[in-house]
Amino acid sequence: MNATGSMGLAVAVRPCCRLIAAQILPRCPHQHGRRIAALPFFPRCSRGRRHFSRCPCPLPPRRSAAAWVRAAVAPARDGAAVSDPRRLSTSVGPGPVPGGDKDFGRIFVQGLAAVKPLVIDSGEQPPAVEGEKAKKEAVEEEEEDRSEVAKARLQSESEKEAWRLLKNAVVTYCGSPVGTLAAIDPAVELLNYDQVFIRDFVPSALAFLLKGEMEIVRNFLLHTLHLQSWEKTVDCYSPGQGLMPASFKVRSVAQGSNGEVEEFLDPDFGESAIGRVAPVDSGGHLIKISGVVCFLIEVVLGMGLIVTIGRVSNSCLSLAGLWWIILLRAYGKISGDYALQERIDVQTGIKLILNLCLSDGFDMFPTLLVTDGSCMIDRRMGIHGHPLEIQALFYCALRCSREMIVASDGSKNVLRAINNRLSALSFHIREYYWADMKKVNEIYRYKTEEYSQDAINKFNIYPEQIPGWLVDWIPEKGGYFIGNLQPAHMDFRFFSLGNLWAIISSLATPKQAEGILDLIEDKWDDLVGNMPLKICYPALENEEWRITTGSDPKNTPWSYHNGGSWPTLLWQFTLACIKMGRPESARKAIAIAENHLSNDRWPEYYDTPTGRFIGKQSRLYQTWTIAGFLASKLLLENPELASILTFEEDLELLEGCACSLAKSPRIKCSRRAAKSHIFV
């Protein structure tokens, strides 16, 4: 799709004009019987009564945690476990397609019923005689149940309290759980902390999934998908239909005089957010289409059909529901409910996100260009451009999508585009964002103003940019990805979330991933100290703080986003450590957190260079602190379950990039070439 853009778009779902969306989408589905019946995707209350309080949706029966643990490596529905996740997900070969077909905007999702279940990690059991198999399973089950009891006995007081608080934070909609509040701090004004944040919910979701509670995650995934359609405006500007919200709230409105209440979901796309920041990691601008086209969709949906509509010629801003996609894959892998990701509306949702996310723009880099404050750091902190955090989540979301998109004629272009982008993105980040002793020394000796294809200093970085703190800080062993890269600009700050997700998603090479953990070990006092983990290091101070943050009193040096310590980063650190076979580091960090969190009433963040004080304006009883702690504990107990979020190195992707770098005949494109060209 291009800027003047016309695009054939087959939309299976997603009514989105003001009239329609405002009336039908956010409300309790069963209140709109006839209309909603046309939409096959809503989790519907089975009893068609009018008011929420009178029509609780029956919850599906719960499975035991042990049973869910087994389901984490559940075989595909046809029993054909696929050991290589790439087999199904890279049906279109990697490698750039010069001037290739970028029209992956045509989204057809056809013949889903006939589609084979999606990728499953190797969970294959050796064939066994039925009777023996049943006996073995019974014994295993008993053992698992016993170890469950043992684990339950071992649950610390902090864990028990954390579970109680997490459950207390659950929000229901039409009687079903749909998310968790960001914080329940009775002492301070909640502002928007009484909402369900997409990114904040991820650790809650993980804790629930690991505990065997799937329903809340499923509901969350579906409801947030449908909130993409909500109408939103910032003053006189309507930023685009389809944006996934940063957060939402369940509101109740009294109906009539008999005390009945009606519930609806009220999303916040950034139009009320402090600073009006766009939540790139949680959602993104998807598509902007006219009311007429939307009306057509509604009519067509009413007939239960999928059609190609429109030649849509609006500017489309594109950024993705990165966390949403990542969570969708994790949910599928642990629950075995692959049917959810195969649903037409969900497939269409993924493709629409990607369609716009991968569209051509003015940019010369494969990284996503975003504004300041578009991720976990949602205030001005000088991270506009190509911040690492967004790139790592983008890479991970692309890999998740590649696994989940059902291969068909209609999806081959988007799969090809994903592969191309993955190759280019991993090359770019591995090569240009990496900083270690050797690289910093190289930069120190850079020549500038090189005009040629073969320039060494491609981004014209002036060596004077190497900050004083880095000269002493960079360890002999290990390294990290810098925070941001632009022409003549390297942000050398260490950002934890981006580095951890680079490990988790295999955006980093195995060597780089080891290097990042080495650096964290080496700089333990700076990055972990009294509370894991620093959101970034070091803090901006003095004039730099004044200019970069706009004198933000919340982001003063070593507070909040500016070098504060965020316990919610713990679960991501745990994942990275487990993936790299170094769980002892995570255990050490969790023990530090466990010493303080409950006593300190589960703060959102800590201040000071070593994280000694509870943050100045920190909320207490912050849900993602609580959930992050629980998820970390559960991951350590069940390290094999880390695979619902992690990825392994994919040499095929590197092959694609090696081919284009080699500028030589196809024969040179091999894994060996990839290894030699790309920093493995």
**β-bridge mates for residue 247, sequence order:** 197, 268
Q: Which stretch binds ligand GLC (CB under 6 A): 94-102, 196-204, 235-243, 392-400?
A: 196-204
**Does residue number 197 form part of the binding site for ligand GLC (CB under 6 A)?**
yes
Helix, coil or strand: residue 583: helix
In whole angstroms, the minimum distance from the beta carbon of 600 to ligand GLC comes to 17
Residues from 243 through 262 that contact ligand GLC (CB under 6 A): none
**Does residue number 378 form part of the binding site for ligand GLC (CB under 6 A)?**
yes
**Does residue number 196 form part of the binding site for ligand GLC (CB under 6 A)?**
no
- Burial class for 456, CB neighbours closer than 10 Å (0-12, 13-18, 19+): exposed
**Does residue number 199 form part of the binding site for ligand GLC (CB under 6 A)?**
yes
Rg (CA), the chain: 25
Tally the residues of the chain.
Answer: 680
In whole angstroms, the minimum distance from the beta carbon of 354 to ligand GLC comes to 23
In whole angstroms, the minimum distance from the beta carbon of 507 to ligand GLC comes to 21
Which of 225, 289, 376, 570 contacts ligand GLC by CB under 6 A? 376
Q: Which stretch binds ligand GLC (CB under 6 A): 35-43, 197-205, 217-225, 496-504?
A: 197-205
Instruction: Round to whole Å and give the CA distance between 539 and 181.
Output: 29
Instruction: Round to whole Å and give the CA distance between 635 and 73.
Output: 15
- Burial class for 435, CB neighbours closer than 10 Å (0-12, 13-18, 19+): buried
Q: Which stretch binds ligand GLC (CB under 6 A): 18-26, 191-199, 358-366, 500-508?
A: 191-199
**Does residue number 268 form part of the binding site for ligand GLC (CB under 6 A)?**
no
Angle of CA points 640, 643, 648, to nearest 5°: 125
In whole angstroms, the minimum distance from the beta carbon of 397 to ligand GLC comes to 17
**Does residue number 602 form part of the binding site for ligand GLC (CB under 6 A)?**
no
Question: What type of residue sits at position 112?
Answer: L
**Does residue number 416 form part of the binding site for ligand GLC (CB under 6 A)?**
no
Question: What type of residue sits at position 618?
Answer: S
Q: Give the count of residues interacting with ligand GLC (CB under 6 A).
A: 7
H helices of 72-156, in order, are: 85-89, 130-154
Unique residue bearing structure tokens 């005089």: 257
Identity of the residue, 51 or 601, whose beta carbon is nearer to ligand GLC in the bound complex: 601
Instruction: Round to whole Å and give the CA distance between 77 and 130.
Output: 18
**Does residue number 352 form part of the binding site for ligand GLC (CB under 6 A)?**
no
Instruction: Round to whole Å and give the CA distance between 309 and 464.
Output: 54
Which of 73, 74, 174, 182 contacts ligand GLC by CB under 6 A? 182
Angle of CA points 8, 14, 17, to nearest 5°: 90
Q: Which stretch binds ligand GLC (CB under 6 A): 50-58, 194-202, 204-212, 414-422?
A: 194-202
Question: What type of residue sits at position 116?
Answer: K
Identity of the residue, 288 or 380, whose beta carbon is nearer to ligand GLC in the bound complex: 380
Q: Please report how many Cα atoms fall inside a 13 Å half-sphere around the Cα of residue 301, on the Cβ side.
A: 24
In whole angstroms, the minimum distance from the beta carbon of 163 to ligand GLC comes to 20
Q: Which residue is nearest to ligand GLC (CB)?
A: 182
**Does residue number 200 form part of the binding site for ligand GLC (CB under 6 A)?**
yes
Residue 646 contacts residue 577 (beta carbons within 8 Å): no
Which residues of this protein are in contact with ligand GLC, per CB under 6 A? 182, 193, 197, 199-200, 376, 378
